[in-house]
Amino acid sequence: MTLEMWTEKYRPKTLEEVVDQADIVSRLKEFAATKVMPHCLFAGPPGTGKTTAALCLAHDLFGGRWMDCFLELNASDERGINIVRENIKTFARMRTLSDVPYKILVLDEADNMTSDAQQALRRTMERFTGTCRFILCCNYSGKIIEPIQSRCALFRFTPLGVQDVMSRLKGIAEAEGAELTDSGLGMIVDVCEGDLRKAINILQAAASTGTPIDDSVVVNIAGTADPQEVRKMLDAALDGRFIEARNVLRALLNEHGLSGSDVIRQVHSQVFSLDAPEGVKASLIEAVGEIEYRMMQGADEEVQLSVLLAKIALVWRT
């Protein structure tokens, strides 16, 4: 195995290779075929193909010399108002030598831009539409100012389906000679929650151990709570064995080095699979939400999770 990142190595190069975003891909293919496109706003969760779709569109539009007509700025780059006025404006105003009459500028994590920078960007998008098309990628479209949203065609990306993620991971594991078990594959899918980039990174990290990739390896690599341990903790609390449940909790926090947020997410997932009435599940979810809020406000994680276990026991008994 090389040091090359598998997320880059196996990134789709053309729109034909993009999976599970059929409606979006069909619209982008129309842009590539007609060479006519508006400014675009790609919104959706991380790891669902927003930046990749922009790169694939550039490949299909400009062909082999796409790098001459394409610029990507990420959140790691400075993108304050001065950068918009200088670097972005310089790129946008220059005409392209290709047969496509415009270039493409991708602003990744655009929802992290300041309001002043977005206002400057709005004016730049308006002035240089003839020579440049902007693609803004963001997780939350509501953080983009309305004048920019009204100038863009909106594309909403959704988390990738389980079968598509599994198929991609199996293909990568086979190509790299990694031994991926069914339990390991299922655990990666559960952990990534539709984020294919995260799934591929976990797969690569697990493959670096040199052992068969099963669920235990994935749990250790991903730094997440073992669902079986969390279920054991919940079962103990539901049976009234509060001290036993708290001991499992302390093992998760202290011995496995997990954070409270890792544990609370697993608890949230496990509640829905409990053999309990709907009203009890609703009460438990309400308790989970309250405890998570307290931890986000800075409360002690072990104390708050212990309170959650106590509430679970009390809710179940009532």
Q: Do the domain assignments include residue 1?
A: no
Residue 241: CB atoms within 10 A of its CB come to 16
For residue 50, how far is the Cα from the chain centroid? 10
Please, which residues bridge with residue 40 across strands?
135, 153
pTM, full prediction: 0.81
d(CA 24, CA 248): 45
Region of poorest pLDDT, from 12-26, 85-99, 230-244, 300-314: 85-99
CA-closest candidate to residue 42, choices 199, 149, 115, 161: 149
| pLDDT over 50 (residue 280) | yes
The CATH number given to whatever domain includes residue 303 is 1.20.272.10
pLDDT at res. 13? 86
What confidence tier does 135 reach under pLDDT thresholds 50, 70, 90? Answer: very high
- Average pLDDT, integer, range 268-275: 84
Who has greater pLDDT, 293 or 76?
A: 293
What residue type is assigned to position 35 of the chain? K
Please indicate, yes or no, if residue 184 is contained in any of the structural domains.
Answer: yes
Q: What is the CATH number of the domain that holds 29?
A: 3.40.50.300
CATH classification of the domain holding 203: 1.10.8.60
Task: Determine the Cα–Cα distance for residues 100 and 150; give it in Å rounded to an integer.
Answer: 24
Q: What percent of the chain is predicted at pLDDT more than 90?
A: 31
What confidence score (pLDDT) does residue 71 get?
A: 87
- Tens-digit pLDDT profile for residues 44-62: 999 888 999 999 999 998 8
Q: What is the mean pLDDT of the chain?
A: 86
